[in-house]
């Protein structure tokens, strides 16, 4: 099983994602933004950072890169893609995931450990979790305030596309547990077929106890299990 | 090229005095032209030449078997940590730019120090910053706090280095002239370091990174003046940062070094091309000729003078190994960076600048640089009269009939004690996933991948102590830094320092500087922590007054085994609480007198360096014996504040404590006095005796003062507070203080 981690100029969590997969014990390669070659990866990780400096709107430039053309095609064919932080922003800008990520409500960058609640566990990235599991995972972003129109939120709910919601340490969905003002405390979503997911929290930073938590590993363990079970997504 | 005629007024405007100008004439054997005058003025400015500090800096201990660089001779200091790895680290000030343009001033401060690290071939793994502002009651101060914190955050976050520790202090002394000191730490294989040298003959010299603009011209000279009403006009002297380009420069530079394509690399910071060319060639005993017309510029009609003195950010000078030019181009092109050959090395020892083939400046490199021909001064020192006046204090004037609970809550909410997460949550403290202990404990701890090791990092200085007693204050800064590192489980190994003072031409200021350097040297000798490098920032004055003498210490410690990492917060109910060291009737210089009585007065707490070291060694052996569950040094705010922090520092698991202390001293001194060489330590119930035995063996006073229990903090009959109330004061204060809009 091979993971491909995309490096845009300005990506800075690419190495963290790479070493998380090494910790998982699977094969992992870096994918260069100017190449269209996914190098036979089975899972694509779009890492955190500030792609192309993000001086315009987070993720707005990255979507035009050669590698993203291949990632979009891969996703449409049912390939597994996870966008973390800036990667989530890129996926939203690319139209692979619904909604938008606005400036945090308090208008400041926020880096700290927070809690998210697993809302569904039939997704490749969460099948090792139980619904209602509380994961301790850090955030580090300025533009993570998830927004979508109320009508579209209803669609997300109906289609069960909400994967993670911010909560307190006991799993209650509270305002105090919401670090950035995201609508309905949404921390992560997936596309309709579930093969593309995006989240603002950084699971790749929570993969060893020495770093404060290893809850993030559950996502990578899940997708590994999913892959090893040989389940394939049907073409959309 | 027609150059303006150099006039006496022009010499004066360039900050050069008569003797210095005479010296220049003698060196050149003629009058300098306008361009050369500009070159001398920046290179002989305080900022680049250290002319008023270097004589004293040379008295600092700079030897140590683990040091891989000679102090001050490379971009940053390097310490061998074993396993074939070295830690490269340095701290630098960006006070003046931050005083007029806080966002860019702070951002470019971070950018500059990061370049110092990665131009040596090291990958930055941590960033720290030590900040000092006036009182947050002042709206201008709040503007500065907001801008500085955003600037540091945006730069470091985008670049991808975790900002893991630091300090934020508030005192009226810093109102017009905040201190913004940025420290960066990198890691490199000991055989992968590269020097900031130009040498050999015929090696191409390349400028890489951003284009050169008119920003930052005379930034170095600006940093060598006091802040005044006119400083606002110097806003154009402040550079603009671009962390994205810096991130690309980092990756490209490390690739160039990895592939062994360069002779030497230096960052372009203060004095831009001028400084990098002259310092690098002087270091290599070589010469360099550059064609200034080849430098990519972002503005039309820039003169050689402007190009040479520009401090545009995210640029570096690379001396390429002859024959590898194409490969170097390729690497920079991959990272979408511009790289242009602008000159060539030779063995003339001369820094020559040409415009369209015509010489516009020609100066021996050696005479321009620190350690070469740059001036060295010993200034007059005179003890300020206030020092003796404030050295005595009659404690009987302070009532002992007080509501100690209320005092503790006031202290916990005071700007200097309260929790600083409003600041550090704006910094990415975890990127690169090495942060074992982030902001909010005694020191940050970074694990070193592929080894069992970790490093501990801290910055410390109590400016109030240094104001009241510069020599003792500087000793205490080193002692506290070492104590913080030891509390985290590390052995202190080396320091970098940032010396922030007023105008050195004032004898009272110079006295403080000389005393602080002496005190720092004494302490570093005892702790065996050599000074690997650093930075001096003078002229930190606004029209009202100079800042407190503030010698900030950045300390590196090594943890041999990651299992010894220790944090400050209480761990489990039933654990025993001990105090290492003894408390005295000392209130002088304390945060208590400042926060409760509005007094800044001595005498500062006494310090015996050898006793301090013994306390630290005892603690470290206890940690290594595996019997210490938490350790927190007793510093600003005294024992009551320290204990409160131990109770609530882990917000997910706050732990109460019952404390009984029998010390026969005043209650205010017991609770809030800042006697040095004390640490609050917890052990499990079973290990308490082992700790006591260890302390007896090392002849260190130790007292069992209580246990971890419940949801309140009680201290004798004086303090009885619920943790919720303590946490509210401690955690909500700073947001209120700095986000007030008026």
Tens-place pLDDT, residues A195-229 = 999 999 999 999 999 999 999 999 999 999 999 98
B736 interfaces chain A, CB cutoff of 8 Å: no
Burial B387-418 (b: 16+ CB within 10 A, else e): beebeebeeeebeeeeebbebbbbbbbbbbbb
Distance (Å, whole) CA A168 – CA A162? 17
Nearest Cα to Cα of residue B541 among B154, B287, B311, B228: B228
Phi and psi (nearest 5°) for B562? -60, -20
B732 interfaces chain A, CB cutoff of 8 Å: no
Distance (Å, whole) CA A225 – CA B429? 31
Query: Domain range spanning residue A178?
Result: 2-228
Out of B41-45, B183-187, B268-272, pick the least confident: B268-272
What is the least distance, in Å, from the CA of B383 to any CA of chain A? 45
Q: Point out the residue among B426, B433, B565 whose CB comes nearest to the CB of A19.
A: B433
Beta strand B350-355 pairing with B358-364: antiparallel
Contact B154/A109, CB-based, under 8 Å? Answer: yes
Residues facing residue A140 across a β-bridge: A111
- Across A173-178, average pLDDT: 97
What percent of chain A clears pLDDT 70, i.e. is strictly above it? 97
- Going by pLDDT thresholds of 50, 70 and 90, the confidence category of residue B663 is confident
A107 interfaces chain B, CB cutoff of 8 Å: no
DSSP B265-298: EEE--TTHHHHHHHHHHHHTT-EEEEEGGGS-BS
Half-sphere exposure of B422 (CA within 13 A, CB side): 19
Q: Which chain B residues have a beta carbon less than 8 Å from that of A208?
A: 433
- The 8-class DSSP code of residue B219 comes to H
Distance (Å, whole) CA B239 – CA B59? 34
Whether residue A234 is contained in a domain is answered as: no
- Going by pLDDT thresholds of 50, 70 and 90, the confidence category of residue B1 is confident
Write the CATH number for A82. Answer: 3.40.50.880
Q: Which residues does B699 contact at the CB level (< 8 Å), separation at least 6?
A: B614
- The 8-class DSSP code of residue B610 comes to H
Per-residue pLDDT at B225:
77
Distance (Å, whole) CA B475 – CA B612? 11
Phi and psi (nearest 5°) for B201? -115, 140
The CA-based dihedral angle spanning residues B232, B168, B534, B473, taken in that order and rounded to the nearest 10 degrees: 110
Question: Could you read off the pLDDT of B557-615 as tens digits, one per residue?
Answer: 999 999 999 999 999 999 999 999 999 999 999 999 999 999 999 899 999 999 999 99
Whether residue A183 is contained in a domain is answered as: yes
Contact A110/B425, CB-based, under 8 Å? Answer: yes
Q: Are B299 and B213 in contact (CB under 8 A)?
A: yes
Whether residue A70 is contained in a domain is answered as: yes
Residue from B103, B154, B160 whose CB has the most chain A CBs within 10 Å, to mutate: B160
> What residues of B act catalytically?
47, 94
Whether residue A52 is contained in a domain is answered as: yes
Q: Tokens representing A144? A: 């993570």
Q: Are B476 and B467 in contact (CB under 8 A)?
A: no
Q: Which chain A residues have a beta carbon less than 8 Å from that of B565?
A: 210
Distance (Å, whole) CA A93 – CA B492? 48
Q: Which residues does B583 contact at the CB level (< 8 Å), separation at least 6?
A: B639, B661, B663, B665, B669, B670, B673, B675, B678
Helix, strand, coil percentages in chain A from 3-state DSSP, rounded to 5: 30, 25, 45
Give catalytic status of residue A33 as yes or no: no
B489 interfaces chain A, CB cutoff of 8 Å: no
- Going by pLDDT thresholds of 50, 70 and 90, the confidence category of residue B228 is confident
Place of tokens 């945060």: B591
Give catalytic status of residue A141 as yes or no: no
B217 interfaces chain A, CB cutoff of 8 Å: no
A54 interfaces chain B, CB cutoff of 8 Å: yes
Per-residue pLDDT at A230:
76
What is the least distance, in Å, from the CA of B158 to any CA of chain A? 6
Question: Could you read off the pLDDT of B87-133 as tens digits, one per residue?
Answer: 999 999 999 999 999 999 999 999 999 999 999 999 999 999 999 99
A16 interfaces chain B, CB cutoff of 8 Å: yes
Q: Point out the residue among B425, B436, B565 whose CB comes nearest to the CB of A111.
A: B425
What is the least distance, in Å, from the CA of B534 to any CA of chain A? 28
Per-residue pLDDT at A233:
52
Per-residue pLDDT at B2:
80
Which run of H or of E encompasses B682? strand B679-683
- Across B190-196, average pLDDT: 91
Per-residue pLDDT at B234:
73
DSSP B35-96: HHHHHHHHHTSHHHH-TTTHHHHTTS----TTB-S-TTTSSSEEEEEETTEEEEEEEEE-HH
B396 interfaces chain A, CB cutoff of 8 Å: no
Question: Could you read off the pLDDT of B10-44 as tens digits, one per residue?
Answer: 999 999 999 999 999 999 999 999 999 999 999 99
B430 interfaces chain A, CB cutoff of 8 Å: yes
Does position A235 have pLDDT exceeding 50, yes or no? Answer: no
Per-residue pLDDT at A232:
58
Specify the 3-state DSSP secondary structure of B3.
Answer: coil
Whether residue A66 is contained in a domain is answered as: yes
- Going by pLDDT thresholds of 50, 70 and 90, the confidence category of residue B232 is confident
- Across B514-530, average pLDDT: 97
User: HEC states along B127-166?
Assistant: EEEEEEECCCCCHHHHHHHHHHHHHHHHHHHHHCCCEEEE
- Regarding predicted confidence, which is higher, B235 or B510? B510
Question: Could you read off the pLDDT of A48-78 as tens digits, one per residue?
Answer: 999 999 998 999 999 999 999 999 999 999 9
Whether residue A148 is contained in a domain is answered as: yes
Question: Could you read off the pLDDT of B466-507 as tens digits, one per residue?
Answer: 999 999 999 999 999 999 999 999 999 999 999 999 999 999
Question: Could you read off the pLDDT of B714-727 as tens digits, one per residue?
Answer: 999 999 999 999 99
Helix, strand, coil percentages in chain B from 3-state DSSP, rounded to 5: 40, 25, 40
Computed over its alpha carbons, how large is the radius of gyration of chain B? 26
- Going by pLDDT thresholds of 50, 70 and 90, the confidence category of residue B617 is very high
Q: Which chain B residues have a beta carbon less than 8 Å from that of A212?
A: 438
Residue from B107, B250, B428 whose CB has the most chain A CBs within 10 Å, to mutate: B428
A110 interfaces chain B, CB cutoff of 8 Å: yes
- Cα separations (Å) of A229 from A121, B144, B340? 16, 56, 54
Contact A19/B336, CB-based, under 8 Å? Answer: no
Exposed/middle/buried for B382, CB within 10 Å: 0-12, 13-18, 19+? exposed
Per-residue pLDDT at B397:
96
- Regarding predicted confidence, which is higher, B699 or B232? B699
Q: Tokens representing B206? A: 């390349």
Residue from A54, A89, A109 whose CB has the most chain B CBs within 10 Å, to mutate: A109
Q: Which chain B residues have a beta carbon less than 8 Å from that of A176?
A: none
A149 interfaces chain B, CB cutoff of 8 Å: no
Distance (Å, whole) CA B579 – CA A189? 50
Q: Point out the residue among B433, B436, B652 whose CB comes nearest to the CB of A16.
A: B433
The per-residue pLDDT of chain A, averaged, comes to 95
Contact B425/A53, CB-based, under 8 Å? Answer: no
Per-residue pLDDT at A231:
63
Which run of H or of E encompasses A46? strand A43-46
Distance (Å, whole) CA A47 – CA A141? 13
Q: Point out the residue among A16, A109, A138 whose CB comes nearest to the CB of B432.
A: A16
Instruction: Please name the residue of chain B whose CA is at the shortest distance from the CA of residue A206.
Output: B433
Q: Which chain A residues have a beta carbon less than 8 Å from that of B150?
A: 108
Question: Could you read off the pLDDT of B327-350 as tens digits, one per residue?
Answer: 999 999 999 999 999 999 999 999
pTM attached to this predicted model? 0.95
A50 interfaces chain B, CB cutoff of 8 Å: yes
Per-residue pLDDT at B70:
77
A119 interfaces chain B, CB cutoff of 8 Å: no
Per-residue pLDDT at A236:
38
Contact A109/B426, CB-based, under 8 Å? Answer: yes
The per-residue pLDDT of chain B, averaged, comes to 94
- Across B385-395, average pLDDT: 96
Beta strand B679-683 pairing with B630-633: antiparallel
Distance (Å, whole) CA B715 – CA B643? 9
Q: Point out the residue among B153, B335, B425 whose CB comes nearest to the CB of A112.
A: B425
A49 interfaces chain B, CB cutoff of 8 Å: yes
Out of B226-235, B335-344, B677-686, B711-720, pick the least confident: B226-235
- Cα separations (Å) of A93 from A100, B422, B570, B740? 8, 30, 45, 36
Half-sphere exposure of A226 (CA within 13 A, CB side): 23
| Total number of domains constituting chain A | 1
Per-residue pLDDT at B158:
97
Q: Which chain A residues have a beta carbon less than 8 Å from that of B160?
A: 12-13, 49
Per-residue pLDDT at B218:
74
- Cα separations (Å) of B46 from B195, B218, B277? 24, 12, 18
Whether residue A235 is contained in a domain is answered as: no
Half-sphere exposure of B331 (CA within 13 A, CB side): 23
Instruction: Please name the residue of chain A whose CA is at the shortest distance from the CA of residue B437.
Output: A211
Residues facing residue B555 across a β-bridge: B458, B495
Q: Tokens representing B451? A: 């080894």
- Regarding predicted confidence, which is higher, A236 or A116? A116
Nearest Cα to Cα of residue B582 among B602, B611, B610, B609: B611
What percent of chain B clears pLDDT 90, i.e. is strictly above it? 88
B431 interfaces chain A, CB cutoff of 8 Å: yes
Q: Are B493 and B79 in contact (CB under 8 A)?
A: yes
Distance (Å, whole) CA B329 – CA B259? 13
Rounded to the nearest angstrom, the gap between the alpha carbon of residue B644 and the centroid of all alpha carbons in its chain is: 28
Q: Point out the residue among B154, B247, B565 whose CB comes nearest to the CB of A12.
A: B247
Contact B243/A53, CB-based, under 8 Å? Answer: yes
Q: Point out the residue among B153, B248, B433 whose CB comes nearest to the CB of A211.
A: B433
Contact A138/B244, CB-based, under 8 Å? Answer: no
Q: Point out the residue among A108, A140, A207 whose CB comes nearest to the CB of B431.
A: A140
Whether residue A137 is contained in a domain is answered as: yes
ipTM of model over 0.90? yes
Per-residue pLDDT at B742:
61
Q: Are B444 and B126 in contact (CB under 8 A)?
A: yes
């Amino acid at each position: 099983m091979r993971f491909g981690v995309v490096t845009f100029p300005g990506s800075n969590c690419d190495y963290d994602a790479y070493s998380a997969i090494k910790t998982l014990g699977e094969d992992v390669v870096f994918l260069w933004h100017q190449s269209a070659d996914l190098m036979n990866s089975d899972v694509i990780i779009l890492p955190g950072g500030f792609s192309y400096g993000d001086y315009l709107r987070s993720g707005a430039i990255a979507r035009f890169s050669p590698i993203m053309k291949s990632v979009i095609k891969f996703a449409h064919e049912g390939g597994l893609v996870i966008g973390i932080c800036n990667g989530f922003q890129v996926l939203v800008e690319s139209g692979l995931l619904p909604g938008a990520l606005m400036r945090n409500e308090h208008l400041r960058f926020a880096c700290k450990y927070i809690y998210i609640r697993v809302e569904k566990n039939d997704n490749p990235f969460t099948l090792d979790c139980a619904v209602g599991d509380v994961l301790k995972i850090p955030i580090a972003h300025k533009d993570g305030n998830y927004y979508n129109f109320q009508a579209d939120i209803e669609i997300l709910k109906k289609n069960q596309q909400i994967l993670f919601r911010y909560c307190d340490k006991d799993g209650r969905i509270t305002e105090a547990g919401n670090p950035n003002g995201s609508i309905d405390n949404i921390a992560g979503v997936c596309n309709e077929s579930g093969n593309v997911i995006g989240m603002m929290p950084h699971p790749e930073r929570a993969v060893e106890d020495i770093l404060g938590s290893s809850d993030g590993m559950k996502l990578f363990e899940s997708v590994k299990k999913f892959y090893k079970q040989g389940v394939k997504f049907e073409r959309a | 090229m027609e150059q303006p005629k150099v006039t006496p007024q022009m010499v004066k405007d360039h900050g050069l005095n008569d003797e210095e100008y005479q010296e220049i004439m003698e060196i050149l054997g003629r009058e300098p032209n306008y361009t050369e005058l500009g070159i001398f003025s920046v290179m002989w400015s305080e900022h680049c030449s250290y002319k008023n500090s270097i004589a004293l800096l040379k008295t600092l201990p700079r030897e140590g078997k683990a040091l891989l660089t000679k102090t001050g001779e490379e971009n940053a200091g390097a310490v061998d940590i074993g396993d074939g790895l070295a830690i490269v680290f340095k701290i630098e000030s960006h006070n003046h730019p931050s005083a007029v343009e806080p966002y860019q001033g702070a951002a470019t401060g971070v950018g500059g120090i990061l370049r110092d690290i990665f131009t040596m071939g090291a990958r930055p793994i941590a960033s720290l910053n030590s900040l000092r502002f006036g009182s947050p009651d002042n709206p201008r101060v709040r503007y500065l706090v907001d801008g500085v914190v955003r600037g540091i955050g945006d730069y470091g976050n985008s670049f991808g280095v975790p900002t893991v520790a630091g300090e934020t202090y508030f005192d009226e002394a810093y109102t017009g002239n905040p201190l913004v000191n940025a420290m960066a730490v990198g890691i490199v294989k000991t055989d992968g370091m590269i020097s900031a040298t130009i040498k050999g003959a015929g090696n191409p010299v390349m400028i890489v990174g951003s284009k050169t603009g008119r920003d930052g011209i005379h930034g170095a000279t600006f940093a060598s003046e006091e802040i005044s009403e006119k400083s606002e006009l110097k806003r154009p002297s402040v550079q603009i940062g671009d962390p994205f380009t810096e991130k690309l420069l980092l990756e490209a530079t490390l690739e160039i070094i990895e592939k062994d394509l360069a002779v030497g690399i230096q960052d372009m910071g203060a004095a831009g091309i001028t400084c990098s060319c002259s310092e690098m060639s002087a270091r290599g005993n070589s010469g360099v000729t550059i064609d200034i017309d080849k430098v990519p510029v972002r503005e039309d009609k820039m003169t050689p003078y402007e190009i040479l003195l520009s401090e545009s950010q995210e640029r570096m000078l690379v001396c390429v190994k002859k024959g590898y030019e194409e490969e170097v181009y390729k690497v920079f092109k991959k990272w979408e960076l511009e790289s242009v050959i602008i000159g060539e090395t030779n063995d003339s020892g001369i820094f020559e600048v040409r415009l369209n083939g015509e010489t516009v400046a020609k100066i021996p490199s050696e005479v321009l640089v620190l350690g070469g021909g740059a001036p060295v001064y010993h200034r007059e020192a005179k003890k300020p009269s206030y020092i003796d006046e404030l050295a005595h204090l009659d404690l009987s004037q302070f009532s002992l009939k007080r509501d100690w609970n209320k005092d503790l809550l006031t202290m916990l909410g005071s700007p200097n004690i309260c929790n600083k997460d409003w600041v550090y949550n704006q910094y990415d403290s975890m990127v690169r996933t090495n942060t074992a202990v982030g902001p909010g404990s005694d020191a940050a701890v970074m694990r070193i991948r592929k080894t069992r090791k970790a490093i501990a990092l801290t910055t410390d200085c109590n400016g109030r102590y240094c104001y009241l007693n510069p020599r003792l204050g500087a000793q205490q800064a080193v002692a506290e830094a070492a104590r913080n590192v030891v509390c985290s489980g590390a052995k202190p190994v080396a320091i970098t320092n940032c010396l922030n003072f007023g105008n050195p031409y004032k004898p009272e200021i110079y006295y403080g500087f000389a005393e602080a350097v002496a005190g720092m040297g004494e302490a570093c000798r005892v702790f065996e922590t050599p000074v690997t490098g650093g930075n001096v920032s003078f002229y930190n004055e606004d029209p009202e007054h100079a800042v407190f003498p503030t010698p900030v210490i950045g300390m590196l410690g090594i943890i041999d085994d990651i299992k010894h990492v220790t944090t400050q917060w209480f761990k489990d109910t039933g654990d025993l609480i001990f105090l290492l060291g003894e408390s005295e009737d000392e209130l002088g210089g304390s945060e208590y007198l400042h926060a409760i009585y509005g007094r800044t007065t001595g005498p500062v707490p006494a310090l015996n360096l050898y006793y301090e070291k013994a306390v630290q060694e005892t603690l470290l052996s206890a940690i290594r014996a595996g019997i210490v569950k938490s350790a927190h040094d007793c510093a600003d705010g005294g024992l009551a504040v320290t204990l409160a922090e131990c109770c609530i520092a882990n917000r997910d698991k706050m732990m109460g404590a019952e404390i009984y202390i029998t010390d026969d001293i005043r209650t205010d001194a017991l609770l809030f006095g800042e006697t040095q060489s004390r640490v609050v330590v917890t052990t499990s119930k079973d290990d308490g005796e082992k700790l006591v035995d260890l302390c007896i063996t090392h002849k260190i006073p130790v007292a069992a003062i209580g246990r971890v229990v419940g949801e309140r903090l009680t201290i004798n009959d004086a303090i009885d507070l619920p943790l919720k109330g303590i946490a509210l004061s401690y955690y909500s204060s700073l947001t209120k203080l700095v986000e007030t809009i008026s």
